[in-house]
Structure 1
Amino acid sequence: MNAAFLRASRRLQRASLAAKLGALGSLIMVVALGSIAFTVWVTWQLEGGAAAVNEAGRLRMQTWRYAQVASAQDLPQLPALAQQYDATLALLDAGDPARPLFVPRDEDTRAALQAVRSRWQALQRAISEGATPLQAGQLAGDLVIEIDHLVTGIEAHLQRWTSILSALQFTLLALALAAGVALLYAAHLFIFQPLARLQRGLEAVARGDLGARVDVETHDEFGEVADGFNHMAMRLEDLYRGLETKVAEKTEHLRTERERLAALYEASRRVAQAASLDELAQGFVRQFREVARADAALLRWHDAEQGRMLMLAADRVPAAMLEHERCLAPGDCHCGNGAAPGGPRTITIHALTDGDTGDSAGTCRRFGFQRVLTLPVLLQDQTLGEVDLLWRDATRPVLDDDRALLEGLAAQLAGGIESVRAQALQREAAVSEERGFIARELHDSIAQALAFMKIQLQMLRGALRRGDPAATTRVVDELDAGVRESLADVRELLLHFRTRSDGAELAAALRATLQKFQHQTGLPAQLDVRGPVLPLAPDVQVQLLHVVQEALSNVRKHAQARQVWVTLDPRPELSVTVRDDGRGFDLAARNSDDGDDGHVGLRIMRERAAGIGAEVEITSTRGEGTQVRIAVPSRPASVALAA
């Protein structure tokens, strides 16, 4: 007996608190549910017995009615009344769980029901054999007496169930009191006592007694907490003198310094290896965000010529916010104002009021950002751009050491931007030199055209000697057409191959190209610029202008157009569209004709576009004109800075 109790006690100690409370609660719930189920069943029996008493009472009424109708010799009604009586007896015999209706199944009640059925049959036989009204009334009275016996038996049975139900209710009350006492005792045993031990231990540690320990009496959750408390107290006792804490602080400081040096080294490596401004900007903006532990970061380039801040790169900025922040004018927002004098600025957005000027950082506030740190990117007192770091938690601090590191990274970024810009200018110079060489070569090739003209002049002299006016006129016309065509080709080729970027933006270069085209052809040309455009790398811009010039050349030679439209659209990708209202052509037939000059022009446009990663889309319909669309992907080579 004692051994079994000890085993049960050990199992109870090893059980978790949830298991203990669950077992106790389950036991109480099972007992309660069982009691409630039994109570419901007893109530159901009582309801069925009450319905049976009601039906038995109805038998009295049917008996006297049957006897009265028989005495009145109203024989046609007797079968219907007998049928109703039999149905009531059958209902009492079988019961009806749906109502519910039950007749007790004990022997006395069943005997009483059988006696009622026998008396009923005797009454039916007597009436059918012609009994007198007096005899029928006596038999009906005997039947009613049997019905009273049946009702008395059912009521006695119901009285017993009622007594049982009352006793069960008192039992449930006692169980509820016992369950409350059991829960209180279990709470005291499993919760309050362990909490009191832990509280005494905490009070001892608070008094400075680091040797205080808590007894671990169980292996439940409180036992685990007590064991953790003991380990904590032991650890505090070991670290009491604080030497280990100081070593840890020094180690953390050294680790931080190492991370900062690694960040500067990574920035230097990125500047040395960056092939384009896009790559450099994206890498730096990610590093800025990681060093500052910010939620988002943006890098903006300052376009001094247009007085705007254009976004170069962003990290973890919502897409909807990117669209709004892509181009800002100074004063539109508290960030994007890198041209303003001064160093880094911290703006707490949630403290701003709606009366502030500009957008009042409404965009940042809409996307949940509460603080912004702006870092200007400076090179020799010249503002190149600005880095904006955004936090959703305005209380997160930016340490002075981190701020100094961010300023150092901004200086590295400025040097990297200048380096990429210098490389782009070098590539532009090389491309320009190559274009000049090709232009000179093409200029020398004009000798072939001059040879053709020399032959025509010899033929002209021969016609003059022969006195042939018709031949003379024909040769002069051919010379005139050849000279005009050659002059136009020479002007176009020289303009085409000597085109170079002089630092002007793409829109200005297209405007100059269209002015020259109008001067040469006399055709009206219209330029439509649909938004600000980030500067392109010089070589990319030159190639794009060449493709546009080739399209304009095809308009001059073949289109027979009355007007030309050029559209520059920076969104969703940079595109230039050249459209005319000329005669158009069959694109499929032109592609199959390798010897056609127009086909050569189309091939040249596609080759030049492919060289910068762009695509050329040509649509044309006979009699409705031609459209050439050149689509340049986002920063195909690099985004250049204006000189």
Structure 2
Amino acid sequence: MKNRPLKPVTTTIARAMLAILLLSVVTTSFALLTLASSLNDAEAVNVSGSLRMQSYRLAYDIQTQSPQLNVHLDMFEKSLFSPSMAALEHWTVPTNIKKHYYNLIGRWEDLHPLLHNGNERLFLSEVVNFVDRIDQFVYELQEFSIIKLQVLSVVGGLGLSLILIAALFTIHFTQRKIVTPLNQMVTASEQIQEGKFDLTLDVKSDNELGILAGTFTTMAAELGKLYRNLEMKVDEKTRRLRQANDSLQVLYDCSQELSQSRLSTKNFAVMLETLLDIEGLTAAKLIIEESTGNNTEIIAGQPSGNNWHYHDLELDGQVLGQLWWQDTLPCPDKNLIENLSHTLARGIYYNRAQKQSEQLLLMEERATIARELHDSLAQSLSYLKIQVALLKRQQGQEDQNQAKAIISDIDNGLSGAYTQLRELLSTFRLTIKEANFGEALVEMLKPLEEQSHALVLIDNQLSSLSLDAHHQVHLLQLIREAVLNAIKHAQADEIIVTCQQELDTVTIKISDDGIGFDPASEKLNHYGLAIMTERASRLLGNLEINTTKGAGCEITLQFQPEFQG
């Protein structure tokens, strides 16, 4: 290759490191082998020395006819054939030591039978010679250990010296061939940082650093050219960035206007005034189309002539109006105008959807009022109308008791209708100030608890995040109706309201310890239960009423909020 170094730095350093590694491995391996072979030397010397003392003890036992003779014989043989002595047969042990050890074993095998043949005196005469051989054996073992330690010291010192020489060579080579060129390049980099690109590095090496120095010099010259070209482009980039920043500011201001809770023509006028901040725009006009043909037109700026451009305000395939503008040089950013058109289209769509939602809510509430009036007052008034007709028939008859009974029914019906009217008015006047379901529930039940001696307990484990405004209103109204019925009719001492959610199912329970009632004997058109059933059906839920006379009442509502969306 053209730029391949003749003497790579990595190769030289790798060879030096490899030499150091090999020397370390050789020295360490020799030391480990020597130490491994010396592990048994000390024990062998000690055991050999004990053989002398045991030999004299055997002689003493013979002379004194000690009963411990056999025991001491066994101990002598265990020492002579101990593992430390048997290890002397290893290949690292010199031949003369092995031979001497085998001679000791052979001499003992000659002396040992004398003790059993009654030749104790002959044994005693040979003990001195046997002990001399043991002394010579111990001396040879000690000399062998000393020689191994001396060889280990020489080899270790030689290996350490060679490792030191290789390390010094590596340091010198690194300083001369790597550190010095790198210092020159660091100085050159500082000059480049100061804007001085005309430089030359004096690095004469046939390795990677020499090639890098030459490449660095060439790169500095090229950087000088690029730096001068970059200075010429900075002003253009700065101008574009300023224009982009202005565009982002316009989009942000328009988005802020769209974040208002209620949009009006004033908001759209402000957005048009913001649009004129774009460089090149002189006038803008917004036309909002209506199905009746009465289009709304909003103008900002100072129009001049008829040189207009326009862009349709389209959302989901529906044209909601047009954005018209007049411009001069420099021409405004077309993409920005297109984005603003989409923003205005979303604003118009949001305004219409907001109005439609308000109308639907109003119509829904009116329908609720109509249903609840029909289920309560309408039936009571119908009942009173029938009673009045009966009363008219009794005017010409002499049965005054029946007329009084009818008048009493009319009076009770009027009282009941009046009570129902007051309850409906209280229901319609109920306001929910808190967005949090738990706080709204406490606020709603607090005045009801003050109207009765019953203790109202609330166990709410339901998160407001799982409920939208539609769910929250109907749940609060249903709970209020159930608690109100318990206060009025159940004669309860304790009313418990439990709200919880398991997986996707919301469960609402209202239980009391009152007198309860028999569902079979109650009026099928009781307006309180009818209202609760109606609200449960609007939640697509299931309402259950569990009660028996004298055993309290429990009302359970279950529904799944996700199915409502």
What TM-score range do you get, normalising by the shorter chain?
0.5 to 0.7
Q: Please give the residue correspondences for 1:194-233 in structure 2 after superposition, counting only pairs within 5 Å.
A: 194-199=181-186, 201-202=188-189, 205=192, 210-214=197-201, 226=213, 229-230=216-217, 232-233=219-220
**CA–CA distance in 2 between the matches of 1:206 and 1:462?**
115
**CA–CA distance in 1 between the matches of 2:410 and 2:489?**
21
The residue aligned with 1:78 is: 69
Shift of 1:230: 3.9
The residue aligned with 1:42 is: 34
Q: Please give the residue correspondences for 1:23-62 in structure 2 after superposition, counting only pairs within 5 Å.
A: 24-62=16-54
Q: In the alignment, is the contact (CA less than 8 A) between 1:432 and 1:500 conserved in 2?
A: no
- Greater radius of gyration (CA): 2
2:119 pairs with 1:131: yes
**CA–CA distance in 2 between the matches of 1:116 and 1:68?**
20
Structure 1 counterpart of 2:533, one-letter code: R
Shift of 1:226: 4.5
Q: In the alignment, is the contact (CA less than 8 A) between 1:577 and 1:629 conserved in 2?
A: yes
The residue aligned with 1:459 is: 390
* C-alpha distance 58-195 of structure 1, shift in aligned 2 (>3 A): same
- Deviations, residues 410-443 of structure 1 (Å, cap 9, x unaligned): xxx9xx99x9899868855774477568757987
Q: Please give the residue correspondences for 1:555-634 in structure 2 after superposition, counting only pairs within 5 Å.
A: 555=486, 558-560=489-491, 582-584=514-516, 599-607=529-537, 623-624=551-552
2:78 pairs with 1:87: yes
Q: In the alignment, is the contact (CA less than 8 A) between 1:566 and 1:577 conserved in 2?
A: yes
Q: In the alignment, is the contact (CA less than 8 A) between 1:523 and 1:562 conserved in 2?
A: no
Identity %: 20
Shift of 1:251: 0.7
Structure 2 counterpart of 1:254, one-letter code: R
Name the SS for the 2:111 alignment partner: helix
2:84 pairs with 1:154: no
The residue aligned with 2:414 is: 483
- Deviations, residues 127-161 of structure 1 (Å, cap 9, x unaligned): 3333363x333211121222233223323433432
**CA–CA distance in 1 between the matches of 2:441 and 2:157?**
101
- Deviations, residues 168-223 of structure 1 (Å, cap 9, x unaligned): 13313322431332232232245323324424534765787523244595775x57
2:108 pairs with 1:120: yes
Q: Please give the residue correspondences for 1:183-332 in structure 2 after superposition, counting only pairs within 5 Å.
A: 183-199=170-186, 201-202=188-189, 205=192, 210-214=197-201, 226=213, 229-230=216-217, 232-239=219-226, 241=228, 244-265=230-251, 268=254, 271-272=257-258
2:95 pairs with 1:107: yes
Shift of 1:250: 3.4
Instruction: For structure 1, list consecutive stretches of 5 or more residues without a partner in the other structure.
Output: 1-8, 278-412, 569-574, 638-643
Shift of 1:238: 0.6
**How much is the aligned-residue C-alpha RMSD, in angstroms?**
5.7
Q: In the alignment, is the contact (CA less than 8 A) between 2:490 and 2:552 conserved in 1?
A: no
* C-alpha distance 267-461 of structure 1, shift in aligned 2 (>3 A): same
Name the SS for the 1:95 alignment partner: helix
**CA–CA distance in 1 between the matches of 2:53 and 2:175?**
65
Instruction: For structure 2, list consecutive stretches of 5 or more residues without a partner in the other structure.
Output: 264-342, 500-506
Q: In the alignment, is the contact (CA less than 8 A) between 1:49 and 1:154 conserved in 2?
A: yes
Q: Please give the residue correspondences for 1:366-385 in structure 2 after superposition, counting only pairs within 5 Å.
A: none
* C-alpha distance 489-202 of structure 1, shift in aligned 2 (>3 A): closer
Q: In the alignment, is the contact (CA less than 8 A) between 1:424 and 1:537 conserved in 2?
A: no
Name the SS for the 1:59 alignment partner: helix
* C-alpha distance 457-44 of structure 1, shift in aligned 2 (>3 A): closer
* C-alpha distance 210-80 of structure 1, shift in aligned 2 (>3 A): same
Name the SS for the 2:82 alignment partner: helix
Q: In the alignment, is the contact (CA less than 8 A) between 1:524 and 1:564 conserved in 2?
A: no
**CA–CA distance in 2 between the matches of 1:469 and 1:227?**
130
Work out the number of aligned pairs and report it: 461
Shift of 1:55: 1.7
Structure 1 counterpart of 2:155, one-letter code: L
* C-alpha distance 49-527 of structure 1, shift in aligned 2 (>3 A): closer
Structure 1 counterpart of 2:139, one-letter code: T
**CA–CA distance in 1 between the matches of 2:140 and 2:445?**
118
Q: Please give the residue correspondences for 1:8-27 in structure 2 after superposition, counting only pairs within 5 Å.
A: 13=8, 17=10, 21=13, 24-27=16-19
TM score, norm. by length of structure 1: 0.55
